[in-house]
């Protein structure tokens, strides 16, 4: 099979005293298959010679290892450069050399316009992000034992304050007298300017303990019971003269304040029911002359929250040469408004329907303005919330990116148009 030479440089090294015994092999000669001819001998070498021999073999090993390391490093650098090239190929915004760029006046104009538009849209999106929006939720009303505040602010331009009275009753027919209730009446002249004030501490008309206002005949029946109790004395005659003079001067009255009633269905009304029927007859000469024209400046069932709309605010109902009874049927909806600061504002909304009944000569009732309210079993919760920052970034990128793309297209079109016009002029 041939002759194969193998050199065994160092097979064994032993230490004896200050010398090292090195066994050096002779060249083996392989003859045929599996036959080896050779021998080995032990040589005693000094310690320094042994160190040189180790250094020699270490240098030979490094000589073989360095090329391998260098080759691996070159291959690694090649791979890194290839990876960088792959990454560069993914660049969607290649850069051109400065000398290849051309700046034009049309491009500058389009750029300025685009910057103005983007700045405007950015401010708009920022304001949209900073503003809050509301979320409505509904649930069953579980409130008990609380009062219902009713804020009133009305003007009666054709009735003096001396004849107006305010009454409030609930579903059981009992009058609600609340010492904390404050109602004021302001005397108005024909121009609507204030000329005097009057404070009503008791809402219930005097002597109306068993009065039932849901029956329109109650006033006459009750008045007939009071005939023997009240006679036309001097003070009554003075009141009649005073009221007639006020009507002649076209005095009006403004009624405002707060009623605190129980959270049950009921009504309150403003009318001339506080007068004795005969006194009222002497003053107005019949119910058809009682003009209950009114202006509702404000009517609410609790404090106001942002965005609330009370349907009866700024309502004008003016009658000319006629009279009648106004009825407002109100459905009160309990409401909670939760601010973004976690503050909770309990209040109420309401819806309303209106009915007007004119007075004829055979009616035994007197004109009035009724507000009949009922409470809904459902409460509405309104929460303020803010839009997420991610939503703001998404909208901002869409708006600014779209503006940038459109201005780029406009710039290219203008450049081509100007270039085409320039070439056509040069040919001429």
pLDDT average per 10 residues of sequence, the chain (428 residues) = 38 42 44 43 49 59 68 67 66 67 77 89 91 90 84 92 85 56 83 73 39 42 44 72 86 89 88 80 84 93 91 92 92 94 92 91 83 93 91 90 87 82 75
Rounded (to 5) percent helix, strand, coil in the chain: 35, 35, 35
- Half-sphere exposure in the Cβ direction for 11 (13 Å, CA): 13
CA dihedral 394, 398, 404, 408 (to 10 degrees): 140
Query: How are beta strands 19-25 and 182-188 bridged, if at all?
Result: unpaired
State residue 331's pLDDT score.
96
The reported pLDDT for the residue numbered 279 is 82
Question: What CA–CA distance (Å, rounded) separates 155 from 185?
Answer: 9
Please report which helix (H) or strand (E) contains residue 335, including its range.
strand 324-338
Q: What does pTM read for this prediction?
A: 0.62
pLDDT at 14: 42
Q: Would you state the pLDDT for residue 45?
A: 45
pLDDT for 4: 38
Give the sign of the dihedral formed by CA 201, CA 255, CA 163, CA 237.
positive
């Amino acid at each position: 099979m041939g002759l194969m030479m193998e050199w065994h440089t160092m097979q064994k090294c032993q230490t004896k005293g200050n010398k090292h015994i090195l066994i050096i092999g002779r060249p083996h000669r392989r003859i045929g298959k599996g036959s080896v001819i050779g021998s080995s001998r032990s040589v005693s070498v000094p310690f320094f010679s042994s160190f040189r021999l180790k250094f020699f073999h270490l240098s030979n090993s490094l000589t073989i290892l360095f090329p391998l390391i260098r080759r691996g490093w070159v291959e690694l650098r090649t791979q890194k450069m290839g990876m960088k090239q792959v990454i560069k190929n993914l660049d969607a915004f290649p850069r051109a050399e400065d000398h290849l760029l051309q700046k034009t006046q049309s491009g500058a104009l389009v750029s300025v316009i685009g910057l103005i538009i983007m700045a405007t849209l950015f401010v708009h999106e920022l304001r949209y992000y900073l503003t809050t929006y509301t979320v409505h939720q509904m649930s069953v009303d579980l409130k008990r034992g609380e009062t219902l505040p009713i804020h009133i602010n009305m003007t009666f331009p054709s009735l003096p304050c001396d004849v107006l009275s305010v009454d409030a009753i609930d579903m059981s027919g009992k009058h609600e007298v609340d010492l904390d209730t404050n109602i004021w009446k302001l005397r108005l002249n024909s121009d609507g300017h204030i000329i005097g004030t009057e404070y009503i501490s008791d809402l219930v008309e005097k002597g109306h303990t068993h009065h039932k206002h849901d029956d329109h005949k109650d006033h006459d029946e009750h008045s007939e019971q009071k005939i023997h109790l009240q006679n036309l004395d001097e003070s009554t005659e003075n009141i009649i003269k005073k009221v007639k003079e006020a009507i002649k001067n076209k005095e009006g009255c403004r009624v405002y304040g707060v009623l605190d009633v129980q959270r049950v269905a009921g009504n309150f009304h403003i009318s001339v029911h506080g007068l004795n029927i005969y006194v009222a007859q002497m003053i107005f000469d019949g119910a058809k002359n009682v003009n209950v024209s009114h202006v509702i400046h404000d009517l609410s069932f609790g404090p106001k929250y942002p965005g609330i709309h009370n349907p009866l605010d700024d309502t004008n109902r003016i009658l000319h040469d006629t009279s009648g009874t106004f009825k407002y049927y109100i459905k009160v909806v309990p409401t909670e408004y939760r601010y973004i600061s976690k503050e909770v504002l309990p209040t109420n909304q309401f819806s309303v329907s209106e009915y007007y009944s004119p007075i004829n000569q055979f009616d035994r009732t007197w004109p009035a303005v009724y507000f009949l309210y009922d409470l809904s079993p459902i409460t509405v919760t309104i929460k303020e919330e803010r839009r997420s920052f991610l939503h703001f970034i998404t909208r901002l990128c869409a708006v600014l990116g779209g503006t940038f793309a459109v201005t780029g297209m406009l710039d290219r079109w203008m450049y081509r148009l100007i270039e085409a016009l320039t070439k056509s002029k040069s040919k001429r």
